[in-house]
């Protein structure tokens, strides 16, 4: 332990910071894609649209049953081959590591966000729908202005908890040779031979950000629990 030199972390921080920015960017982009698709998937199941709801259920079950790293490999290796065949020339069309990660994380997280929102929709009191009918609100206005805002508000702690997991899962992009936070720490560790210092620094960043976000989630849970008691 006496040979540890954490001054190397301060020197390498600009490179680690660029990796952290990539991790956060992927998290935000995948969150937006996942929430948009997840909301659509949840509504499809909520309205019980025959064939579409069965397709969505199968998709959600598939994504929740396989490891994320396997989905990354699928998109990275199989999608270029499929695109090549669809284009007619038979040659693989590379999608690029960044787009692969972005699309994969978004589609993968959509399955989890979908289940969170679907459960939230089922928890909405039927009186809310009856009140909207009494006010002659359209289906779109009912869900856009009344139902979904309540679902997002109540489910926000669970949604944020899943987003914390998403942030941690972005470390898997190292298999695509992308330089995220963990990838930056790994490259620096191999370059300067300071494996312990670099990996401890990366772990500390993940720990701090995840802990702060978890505390925020806990405060939201308490806030909505208290609000629910006075209704």
Would you say residue 27 lies in a domain? yes
Give 81-128 pLDDT, tens digit per residue. Answer: 887 887 777 788 778 888 889 999 999 999 999 999 999 898 888 888
Whether 118 is covered by a domain: the verdict is: yes
Given a cut of 60, is residue 228 above it in pLDDT?
no
Query: Do 70 and 108 meet the contact criterion of CB atoms below 8 Å apart?
Result: no
Look at residue 162 and tell me if it is in a domain: yes
Domain residues for 150? 7-229
Which two structure tokens, joined as six digits, stand for 77? 């290796």
Q: How many domains does the chain have?
A: 1
The pLDDT value recorded for residue 95 is 80
Residue 2 lies in a domain: no
Q: How many Cβ atoms from other residues are within 10 Å of residue 32's Cβ?
A: 11
Q: Are 150 and 128 in contact (CB under 8 A)?
A: yes
Is 215 inside a domain boundary?
A: yes
Residue 78 lies in a domain: yes
- The residue whose two tokens read 């992927």 is 26
Q: How many residues does the chain have?
A: 231
**The token pair that represents 42 in the structure block:** 């949840």
CATH assignment at residue 22: 1.10.3720.10
Candidate from 2-11, 65-74, 173-182 with smallest mean pLDDT: 2-11
List the one residue out of 2, 48, 4, 21 whose CA is nearest residue 193: 4
For residue 106, is it within any domain? yes
Q: Where are the alpha helices (DSSP H) in 97-194?
A: 97-123, 126-134, 139-141, 148-169, 181-192
Query: Where does the pLDDT of residue 227 fall: very low under 50, low under 70, confident under 90, or very high at 90 and above?
Result: very low
Specify if 1 maps to a domain: no
Q: Average pLDDT for residues 57-80, to the nearest whole number?
A: 90
Here the tokens at position 213 are: 């976000």
How far apart, in whole angstroms, are the C-alpha atoms of residue 42 and residue 123?
13
Least confident of 33-37, 128-132, 161-165, 211-215: 128-132
Structure tokens at 179: 């330089």
């Amino acid at each position: 332990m006496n040979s540890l030199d954490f001054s190397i972390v301060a020197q390498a921080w600009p490179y680690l910071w660029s990796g952290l920015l990539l991790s956060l960017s992927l998290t935000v982009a995948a969150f937006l894609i996942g929430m948009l698709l997840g909301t659509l998937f949840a509504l499809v199941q909520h309205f019980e649209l025959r064939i579409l709801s069965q397709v969505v259920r199968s998709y959600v079950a598939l994504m929740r049953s396989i490891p994320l790293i396997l989905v990354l490999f699928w998109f990275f290796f199989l999608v270029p081959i499929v695109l090549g065949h669809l284009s007619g020339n038979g040659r693989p069309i590379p999608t690029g590591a960044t787009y692969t990660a972005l699309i994969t994380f978004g589609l993968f997280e959509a399955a989890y966000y979908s289940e969170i929102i679907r459960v939230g929709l089922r928890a909405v009191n039927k009186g809310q729908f009856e009140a909207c009918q009494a006010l002659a609100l359209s289906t779109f206005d009912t869900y856009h202005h009344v139902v979904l805002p309540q679902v997002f508000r109540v489910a926000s702690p669970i949604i944020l908890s899943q987003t914390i997991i998403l942030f941690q899962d972005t470390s898997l992009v190292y298999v695509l040779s992308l330089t995220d936070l963990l990838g930056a720490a790994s490259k620096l560790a191999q370059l300067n031979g300071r494996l312990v210092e670099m990996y401890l620094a990366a772990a500390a960043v993940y720990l701090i950000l995840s802990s702060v976000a978890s505390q925020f989630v806990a405060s939201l849970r308490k806030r909505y629990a208290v609000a629910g008691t006075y209704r």
